[in-house]
Amino acid sequence: MALQRKPNSGTRKLPGVDKKYTHGAVTVRWQSARCIHAGVCVRRLPGVFRPKEKPWVRLENASAQEVIDTVALCPSQALSTVV
Ligand code: SF4
């Protein structure tokens, strides 16, 4: 069964960290208030999502497509791709 995803809330401001990380043509948005710490991102791309480091997102360590595919799997939409 394909997952139905609601569009990200765009400009709605949540409490907590709201950051964007850019590398090349890819920008990833991180909204900490949405994170449920499922760890999907960390398990799938441990070179990119490094929660013990600052900055914790290192987009240069994977291809744009790998990042896009992994962000799409974030179950809470804490991660989203900005276009
Ligand atoms: S996949 Fe999404 S919800 Fe899970 S740890 Fe990463 S950012 Fe948080």
- The pLDDT confidence band at residue 2, using thresholds 50, 70 and 90, is low
pLDDT tens digit sequence for 49-71: 999 999 999 999 999 999 999 99
Number of domains in the chain: 1
Q: Is 79 in the pocket of ligand 1 (CB under 6 A)?
A: yes
Q: Residue 4 domain-assigned?
A: no
Do the Cβ atoms of 50 and 58 come closer than 8 Å?
yes
Q: Residue 42 domain-assigned?
A: yes
Q: Residue 13 domain-assigned?
A: no
Domain hosting 45: range is 18-82
pTM: 0.83
Only one residue has tokens 């949540």, namely 14
Compute CA distances 33 → 17, 65, 74, 76, 79, whole Å: 7, 25, 13, 10, 11
Distance 24 CA to ligand 1 centre (A): 22
